[in-house]
Structure formats: C-alpha cells, structure tokens
Amino acid sequence: MRRMDPLLADLVAVLDLEAIEDNIFRGPSRDIGSPQVFGGQVLGQALVAASRTVSERQLHSLHAYFLRGGDVNAPIVYEVDRARDGGSFSNRRVVAIQHGRQIFNMTASFQAPEDGLEHQVAAPVVVPPDDLPDITELRATDLAGLPERLRYFFSRKRPFHVRPVMAAGEDFGAASGTAKHVWMRAVDPLPDGVSLHCAMLAYISDYELLGTAVLRHGQERELRHRLQMASLDHAMWFHRPCRVDDWLLFSFDSPSASGARGLARAEVFDSRGALVMSTAQEGLIRLR
C-alpha cells in the first residue's frame, strides 16, 4: 500500500483530536503561511469535535463565527455543548479556546438518514482538472506581484491539489469579473469515514473563498497590497456524500460587498456533476 503524502498524513493527524474530558477536545495548530491559524483548520477541528458526540446521524449544516486570530504556536481546546438530541436532528454548539479566550464558535446540525424530494442546479461546464496546472506549478512571474506572505502561501506545497480554471495565457491573480472556478482534491487516497471527509471539506472550503469578493473591483493582484482581509463568519450546507480524494469543482461568486465587508459563496460539485455542498462566508475587506 502506497505511503500517504506526509503533508496529508499530518493534516489527518491534526484533525484527529485528543479527548481530554467529556465533551472537551484538544487539537494542534499548524502554520500554513496565513497570518494566523488557518480558518479551515479551526472549522475542520470543530466539526470533528462535534461529530465525536453524535452517532448514526449525518452532518447537514454548520454556522460559525471567527472571533479572534488563532496562535499557530499553541494548541486549541474545543468545548462541545450537546444542545439537543431530537427524534431526527441533533444540534451541537462548539467553542474554540486559546490562551483562555474564545477564538471561534460554531453550531452544527446532524440528521438521521431520510429520503425526500431531490433537485439541484446544474454544474458549470469548465476545463477538466487533468488539463490544468496546479497552483504550485504556476510560473514565478505570476506570483511576483503578490505580497511576500501571499507568495509564500500560494507557492508552498499543500496536502491538496488546487487547480484554478483559467483562460489560456491568463496570469494567476489577474482574474476579473464576478466568479471563478477551482478544482481541488487531496493529493493521496484518504481513509473511509464520513466525518473525516466532511472535516476535510470544511478545511478546503476556506482556501479560495473570501478572495472572490474583490474580483469585480479589478485586478485582484493589485488590490492585495491595499487590503486588510479576515474571515468573519462561515456557513456550510452538506447536500450529498462525497470524498475529498476525488476531484471537486468549487464554483465561487460574490453577490455583494459593502460596509468594509464582502460576501462570497461557493457551490461544490463532484466529478459527476452532483452538488455535494454549498458554502458562504462574510469577511472583513478594509482598504488601507
């Protein structure tokens, strides 16, 4: 059996929280090049903490708020409140704590499996992932105009393939308009387990989301030098089971920006065109 990529294996370990008391868990932090703990890490770990207190029910939604930047050099403690276990739904509240202060809170809802009406929007028709370069393979000149911290973030190796759908000859960071499409997939096969794949999906849902909110304002590359950006809240709706070691197409758009805040959304489709997840995030977008 092939050995798992070390970065992906480390992420699996990061999401495998330590139980330190009833309903209390602890997870390590990692520096992936963002100014503070990556929001996707906190989302994924909080989701694992909530899932550890639920059985025989499937996650269908979460709603979260980022309260403070996390310290990459310290672990995070997650306290789970078993708010309700009803006949069909279970609700959990999770608080993430570092240095004695809340940095994040989340509510997640789980449902017993149930059949019902079905419909979905059609998946966009885009270039397949095998015909696109990975974000880490982009030319050095495409990254040269970005701030140093962002060059580090975009050029370092990741546990996921990230392949933006770009027109021929288009430079990375020069997208314009109102939408973008990105293929993502874990670099190696992952173990089975619905909760692991949901946590991984929560992790990567924060990769490309907020930057969508500045696309219609011109060259994203030029704006990056003048912007203070931070995630404020995050919502996810899980529609159908999926695996994050299969290709997933993230279709991003931004319907609004105002009050130094921007709203970004994404619909996520598997390689067969099934809509597996929807997500939305509002973030601080402050011009320096």
Backbone conformation region of residue 169, classed left if phi is above 0, alpha if psi is from -120 to 50, else beta = left
Q: What is the pLDDT of residue 62?
A: 98
Interval 60-74: pLDDT, tens? 999 999 999 999 999
Distance, in Å, from the CA atom of 116 to the CA atom of 110, rounded to the nearest integer, reads 16
| Catalytic pick among 41, 45, 278, 281 | 281
Out of 33-47, 83-97, 150-164, give the one with best mean pLDDT: 83-97
Enter the pTM of the model.
Answer: 0.91
Model confidence at 137, in pLDDT bands (50, 70, 90)?
Answer: confident
Q: Which of 51, 98, 231, 251 is catalytic?
A: 231
- Burial per residue of 199-222, b for 16 or more beta-carbon CB atoms within 10 angstroms, e otherwise: bbbbbbbbbbbbbbbbbebeebbe
32 — pLDDT class (breaks 50, 70, 90): confident
Find how far residue 186's CA is from the centre of its chain: 13
Look at the domain 6-113+123-287 and name its fold: Porin (2.40.160)
Q: Is 188 a catalytic residue?
A: no
Q: What is the pLDDT of residue 102?
A: 98
Query: Is the model's pLDDT at 224 over the cut of 90?
Result: no
Q: Which of 91-100, 132-141, 189-198, 239-248 has the lowest mean pLDDT?
A: 132-141
Q: How confident is the model at residue 216 (pLDDT cuts 50, 70, 90)?
A: confident
3-state secondary structure of 180: strand
Phi-psi region of 180 (alpha: psi -120 to 50; beta: other; left: phi over 0): beta
Secondary structure class of 185 (helix, strand, coil): strand
Instruction: Write out the E strands in the chain.
Output: 18-21, 24-27, 58-66, 76-85, 89-98, 101-111, 160-164, 179-186, 227-238, 248-258, 261-270, 275-287
231 is an active site residue: yes
Given the residues 29, 90, 205, 206, the one annotated as active site: 206
* 228 catalytically annotated: no
Q: If residue 175 lies in a helix (H) or strand (E), which one and from where to where?
A: none
- Where do the structural domains in the chain lie, given as residue ranges? 6-113+123-287
Residue 151 has pLDDT above 60, yes or no: yes
The reported pLDDT for the residue numbered 144 is 63
Structure tokens at 217: 């304002």
Q: What is the mean pLDDT of residues 1-11?
A: 88
pLDDT in tens, 81-133: 999 999 999 999 999 999 999 999 999 999 999 999 999 999 999 999 999 98
